[in-house]
């Protein structure tokens, strides 16, 4: 069964969603992220993707208090991303209760540091974040495109022992227009032992079923839930099958 991983994205302490990573296209869904996380836990969800968008923009972790409150008050296994750049950042995030971190921009900018973290914390705690636009990796909260191809990027970290990947197709993120299914299939074909988590474009449960049939391991969704395209009832039914 594919793992359902809801996303909570934080700006100014509120639960928001962006469109294609554009901060000026922000929609606020709740000013109580902890209550949203509790709701997900009550549906049977086990994992949470928590993104510090303030941190991603600032280049340092900002919303540590929200991470800590969700970790302390729910049973959710949290992976945290956004602004993790230093040894102090990653340690503070783990101390606050994250089970895993997502290394995105830092994995492009400072491979040696991420390699050190993989050695220090183990590959089970470091998820590779690959945010892609037209097959190339983008960094710094998707504000900067690189010339690095996604397959070369992932291969480089497979060589270092990475076991889990979150791949976001930026063009689809927040659009509710369907996922980059062909990209995820190609990644699975190329890296069959890698746990691949799809992110971006989920419009409803049909998209999740397609990913599951394609052998994709997990899926992150956010806007589809907050806009009512995926209901609480559908999530509960999925876990009770």
Nearby residues of 22 by Cβ (< 8 Å), 6 or more positions away: none
Choosing from 9, 79, 89, 169, the catalytic residue is: 9
User: Which tokens hold the place of 12?
Assistant: 């100014």
Q: Are 102 and 129 within 8 A, CB to CB?
A: yes
Q: Which long-range contacts (CB under 8 A, 24 or more apart) does 235-239 make?
A: 235/4, 235/43, 235/44, 235/45, 236/43, 236/44, 238/4, 238/205, 238/208, 239/4, 239/43, 239/44, 239/45
Nearby residues of 151 by Cβ (< 8 Å), 6 or more positions away: 186, 187, 190
Q: Is the dihedral of CA 115, 117, 121, 124 positive or negative?
A: negative
User: Which tokens hold the place of 33?
Assistant: 């992220």
Q: Are 34 and 67 within 8 A, CB to CB?
A: no
Choosing from 131, 169, 173, 217, the catalytic residue is: 131
Annotated catalytic residue 9: yes
Rounded Cα distance between 222 and 44, Å, is 16
Annotated catalytic residue 207: no
Residues that are catalytic:
9, 131
């Amino acid at each position: 069964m594919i793992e359902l991983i809801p996303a909570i994205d934080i700006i100014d302490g509120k639960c928001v969603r962006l469109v294609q990573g554009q901060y000026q296209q922000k929609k606020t869904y709740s000013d109580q992220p902890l209550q949203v996380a509790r709701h997900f836990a009550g549906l049977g969800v086990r994992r949470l993707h928590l993104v510090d968008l303030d941190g991603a923009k600032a280049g340092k972790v900002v919303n540590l208090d929200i991470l800590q409150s969700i970790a302390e008050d729910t049973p959710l296994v949290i992976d945290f991303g956004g602004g993790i750049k230093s040894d102090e950042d990653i340690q503070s995030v783990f101390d606050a209760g994250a089970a895993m971190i997502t290394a995105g921009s830092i994995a492009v900018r400072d491979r040696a540091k991420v390699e050190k973290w993989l050695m220090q914390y183990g590959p089970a705690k470091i998820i590779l974040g690959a945010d892609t636009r037209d097959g190339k990796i983008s960094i710094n909260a998707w504000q900067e495109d690189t010339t690095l191809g996604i397959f070369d990027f992932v291969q480089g970290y497979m060589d270092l022992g990475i076991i889990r990947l979150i791949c976001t197709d930026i063009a689809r993120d927040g659009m509710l227009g369907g996922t980059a299914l062909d990209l995820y299939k190609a990644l699975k074909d190329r890296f069959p032992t890698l746990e691949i988590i799809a992110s971006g474009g989920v419009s409803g449960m049909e998209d999740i079923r397609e990913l599951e049939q394609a052998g994709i391991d997990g899926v992150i969704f956010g806007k589809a839930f907050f806009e009512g395209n995926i209901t609480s009832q559908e999530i509960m039914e999925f876990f009770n099958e």
